[in-house]
Amino acid sequence: MDSDVLRRLHYAAAIGCGVFAALVVHIVLTVLGVGVDAVLRDGAGSARQLASAIAWWAIGGAGFIGGWGTGAYLIAAARERAFVFRLAQRFLIAVVFAAATAGGVMSKSGSVGGTIDVIAGLTALGLGLLCAFCGARLAYLNAEQV
């Protein structure tokens, strides 16, 4: 396969995994009641604003780390580094398991759906996409310098 096509495929996979990690964090925080939608639901109190800000940073951080980690994993796999490949593979399996568990818990709660949830979900998706792209880009820029 052409190296340019493979590199673009790696970028897409790293960004996708970063977005996936951001959405997992969004689901978990929403289940815990500390989601991005805390201010939209209960008004603008200082405690709710803090909870929403923490959720915002946690979702962004998860997207960035997910994109960077997956990018580093794919670079190590392409360069045939066995230890990093096995370690990252187990981590990605754990992230998928955590996402499936969080999705199952979320589907059992009765407070899913509505305009506020759509706004919060799309905000988490956009934030995760932006931060995952930045994380993947950083991983590939660091790999080019090594």
Residue 98 · residue 31 · CB < 8 Å: no
Positions in the chain whose pLDDT score sits under 50:
none
Q: What rounded mean pLDDT belongs to the chain?
A: 79
According to DSSP, residue 36 is labeled T
Distance from C-alpha of 87 to C-alpha of 79, rounded to nearest angstrom: 15
Whole-model pTM: value is 0.77
